[in-house]
Amino acid sequence: MFSYLRNSIRRKLARRFTREYQTHIDHFEVTGLGTVSYANWDNPLVKTRSITPGNVEFFKRFLKKGDFAIDIGANTGIITTYMALACGTEGTVMAFDPNPFVFKILEENAGLNKGLAHIVPHNVAITDADGEFYYHSSEASFNNGGISAESNSRHGKFGLTQKIRGVRLETFLEKEYPGMIEKLKLIKVDAEGYDKEIIKSISGLLTRYRPMVVAECFGKLSQEDRFELFDLLASRGYTLTYFSDFTSEADFAPIANREDMLRWTHFDFMAVAN
């Protein structure tokens, strides 16, 4: 009972007051890789993350050593790490997150597992044009949130005092990493309901390089938004599939038409170019 009350108070404080939280490093045994490390954030609103062989095997179905993948909305980097372990040190996973609070943890995780993975973190948002944006969160600890062009935002009442930078991904890659685009195999997007807008902004990359897309259908999306998200990918020759979790034991189901986007409330899906 005492532990429950203490944790409840910590969560309430994290929702109301902004402060820095430390990390602790956890270690996991992964078949074929040995010991893998991850920096878990001690923010009481954030679930402790783990790495299993099944998490890595999930991405090994789509990525091989030497591949280039991108994680948009990487947060502290757990999915980034799964992807990077599949690509190996010969490959690269580029991770983007504009939130300076979570980026510190993402950067720490990018520095772990040097003999097993290669992660390049960037503290910027992916947008349809380069610019500066406001960042807001519903939690004072900034464990999540989103960008907006206006100072008031639906993401919450807690705002950063400084604006964050947004970049157009295709332009950014062509300028900063011109030799890597040809190797692009997968783009994962998790943007608190803005996945559709981000996918629109990277449509040029989808058309030219045909990477697989892993994205989220946010629970609060309207029927119209869900249909538009489906059409956005299907019209570019992508086939969509629902999956239940980022593990090799996940359940899969085809998303054959727009109406299938209504079968689940909040879910992840993959889109593969035909």
Strand partners, 224: none
pLDDT at site 61: 95
Least confident of 139-143, 203-207, 270-274: 139-143
Q: Domain residue spans in the chain?
A: 27-125+178-273
CB–CB of 193/221 below 8 Å?
A: yes
pLDDT of 81 above 90 = yes
pLDDT computed for residue 158 by the predictor: 84
Beta bridge partners, 137, equal 158
| Predicted pLDDT of residue 1 | 56
Mean pLDDT of the chain: 93
- Confidence (pLDDT) at 59: 98
Q: Give the H/E segment covering residue 58.
A: helix 53-60
> Residues 73, 192: contact at Cβ < 8 Å?
yes
Which class is 27-125+178-273 in CATH?
Answer: alpha beta
Q: Please give the distance of CA 46 from its chain centroid, rounded to a whole number.
A: 15
Asked if 78 and 100 count as a contact pair (C-beta separation under 8 A), the reply is no
Q: How many CA atoms lie within 13 A of 170 on its CB side?
A: 15
pLDDT at 7 over 80: no
Is a pLDDT exceeding 70 seen at residue 16? Answer: yes
> To the nearest whole percent, how much of the chain has pLDDT over 70?
99
Strands 125-126 and 119-122: unpaired
Residue 2: pLDDT band (50, 70, 90) is low
Q: CB pairs under 8 A, 24+ apart, for 141-144? A: 141/14, 141/15, 141/17, 141/18, 141/19, 141/21, 141/43, 141/45, 141/101, 142/18, 142/99, 142/100, 142/101, 142/102, 143/14, 143/41, 143/43, 143/45, 143/46, 143/101, 143/102, 144/75, 144/99, 144/192
Measured between alpha carbons, how far is residue 150 from residues 43, 133, 145, 272 in Å? 28, 8, 14, 35
- Using the predicted structure, report yes or no on whether residue 160 has a pLDDT greater than 90: no
Q: Which two tokens stand for residue 11?
A: 């969560």
Percent of the chain with pLDDT over 90: 78
pLDDT in tens, 27-76: 999 999 999 999 999 999 999 999 999 999 999 999 999 999 999 999 99
pLDDT in tens, 82-105: 999 999 999 999 999 999 999 999
Neighbours of 266 (CB within 10 A): 11
At residue 119, does pLDDT exceed 70?
A: yes
- 246-255 average pLDDT score: 97
Query: In a 3-state reduction of DSSP, which class is residue 63?
Result: coil
Over range 152-165, report the average pLDDT. Answer: 82
